[in-house]
Amino acid sequence: LADEVFQKRKKFLGPSLFHYYQKPINIVEGKMQYLFDENGKRYLDAIAGIVTVSCGHCHPEVLNAIVEQSKILQHATTIYLHHAIADFAEALASKMPGNLKVVYFVNSGSEANELAMLMARLYSGNLGMISLRNSYHGGSSGTLGLTALNTWKYSIPEGEIHHAINPDPYRGVFGSDVNSYAQDVQDHIDFGTSGKVAGFIAETIQGAGGAVELAPGYLKLVYDIVRKAGGVCIADEVQTGFGRTGSHYWGFETQGVLPDIVTMAKGIGNGLPLGAVVTTPEIANVLAHKIQFNTFGGNPVCSAGGLAVLKVIDKEKRQAHCADVGSHLIERLKALQQKHDIIGNVRGRGLMVGIEFVTDKKEKTPAKAETAVLFEKMRELGVLVGKGGLHGSVFRIKPPMCFTKDDADFLVDALDYSILKL
Ligand code: PMP
């Protein structure tokens, strides 16, 4: 069956699709933190459909909300009133600090960032955008310019987008010296944008880039610089939001800043195609009296599902759970790092963890080939992780937030065994 699916996909779906593993897995079922293939083999899912299945695969309460809403009304769009979108917007706004109270619903992270960029440009009257190297903000033609992962580069012109040096404490040229990284943003503004910018966008922990947490204190400095240059500050919470970092509900809170625009997707819907942009009434107002329409954005089914996700995260205390399980996982991985030279760096927060493999601890030479072998071995042992980073030498551990300490132990033991068998 897997072969048949694979051949059909190759024939009828675009050639840009890529898959994990030499022999791709044919997934037929998901249950909380587990996935099952066509042979009934169970896998521990430590990547959650790329950080998307927040509550768990087919979480009963989210599932129930989706099913019940689907039975009554699937779609009508925003030309009519519907309570689900209003209730969801109210609940989401209640999760936001400061004056971030106006919500636009979209269907994906790319759409959310596209809209945020549009608002930043309209509000500021400027064109220039600054994003960080090693970032991922989307695959649409606008957001591709913001995305600054080498592997995602296309040779297309990017309208006034500048990539500042990412403050990566492990590999960054300035170590954790946030002043030097902030100066780089200032230089981009002074020499690249004639002194004015529309906005700055960053993930607090770079997801696709390999769970790289921005050096502490960085965003505070940069937000000041950007605002002085007339720009707005955008936090991309597509991966870091909804309590995953454990310490805070939103990633930007870990840096003690208050953005002007927050974008979200992935975990907001536990797998439903859903995204949102939340901003202040003042910034949201730039779209007043303009046609800004999104056919599916916040449709009844997605809104009912999204509202259930928010409730589950609160009711099941998922943020505290992420902090607890995450620190256990990181502690155990750091102990494993002492045992194996190939583990160059263990980093992250809550259930957003990166393990970087190197062939030389001092030189930090990326162990690209070895990472690929470990990745396959983990799969054989029934553990699915994510792969990423600038050099493809990072395991990304971002499981559904119901992942337990036992699951973390299982993952670490599987990694230990895989490294021993290298
Ligand atoms: N922002 C971040 C931080 C992401 O990780 C992603 C997806 N990997 C996106 C935006 C784009 O989201 P989508 O694939 O839903 O368009």
110 lines ligand 1 (CB under 6 A): yes
Residues of the chain with CATH 3.90.1150.10: 2-55+317-420
Which of 17, 106, 136, 146 best tests ligand 1's pocket when mutated (most atoms within 8 Å of CB)? 136
What is the full DSSP assignment across 48-102?
HHHHT--S-BT-HHHHHHHHHHHHH-S---TTS--HHHHHHHHHHHTTS-TT--E
Pairing of strands 352-360, 383-384: unpaired
203 lines ligand 1 (CB under 6 A): yes
Q: What is the pLDDT of residues 82-114, one digit of tens each?
A: 999 999 999 999 999 999 999 999 999 999 999
**108 C-alpha to center of ligand 1: Å?**
7
Which of 140, 151, 266, 302 best tests ligand 1's pocket when mutated (most atoms within 8 Å of CB)? 266
Maximum distance among all Cα pairs of the chain, rounded to whole angstroms: 63
CA–CA distances in Å: residue 33 to residues 40, 43, 329, 400: 15, 9, 16, 6
Is the CATH code 3.40.640.10 the one for domain 61-315?
yes
Which of 115, 131, 137 best tests ligand 1's pocket when mutated (most atoms within 8 Å of CB)? 137
- Model pTM above 0.90: yes
- The predicted structure's pLDDT at residue 157: 62
**234 C-alpha to center of ligand 1: Å?**
14
Q: Work out the number of other CB atoms within 10 angstroms of the CB of residue 119.
A: 25
Quick one: how far is CA 158 from the chain centroid? 23
Domain 2-55+317-420: state its class. alpha beta
**232 C-alpha to center of ligand 1: Å?**
20
Q: What is the pLDDT of residues 123-150, one digit of tens each?
A: 999 999 999 999 999 999 899 999 998 7
138 lines ligand 1 (CB under 6 A): yes
Residues of the chain with CATH 3.40.640.10: 61-315
**110 C-alpha to center of ligand 1: Å?**
6
**203 C-alpha to center of ligand 1: Å?**
10
Tokens of 158: 């990017």
239 lines ligand 1 (CB under 6 A): yes
332 lines ligand 1 (CB under 6 A): no
- For residues 272 and 57, give the distance between their C-alpha atoms in angstroms, rounded to a whole number: 11
Beta-carbon contacts of 16 under 8 Å, excluding residues fewer than 6 positions away, are none
What is the full DSSP assignment across 6-55?
HHHHHHHS-TT---SSSS---EEEEEBTEEEETT--EEEESSHHHHT--S
Return the residue whose CA atom lies nearest to atom 1 of ligand 1: 137
- For residues 217 and 1, give the distance between their C-alpha atoms in angstroms, rounded to a whole number: 51
Is the ipTM value over 0.95, yes or no?
yes
Q: What is the pLDDT of residues 166-217, one digit of tens each?
A: 999 999 999 999 999 999 999 999 998 878 999 999 999 999 999 999 999 9
Half-sphere exposure of 128 (CA within 13 A, CB side): 21
Give the SS3 label for residue 118.
helix
208 lines ligand 1 (CB under 6 A): yes
- The predicted structure's pLDDT at residue 292: 87
- For residues 268 and 275, give the distance between their C-alpha atoms in angstroms, rounded to a whole number: 7
Mean pLDDT per block of 10 residues along the chain (422 residues) reads 94 94 96 97 98 98 98 95 97 98 98 98 96 94 89 69 95 97 96 90 97 98 98 98 98 98 98 98 95 93 98 98 98 98 98 98 96 98 95 96 98 98 96
Q: Which of 355, 348, 349 is nearest to 370 (CA)?
A: 355
- For residues 98 and 406, give the distance between their C-alpha atoms in angstroms, rounded to a whole number: 38
* Distance between first and last Cα of the chain: 31
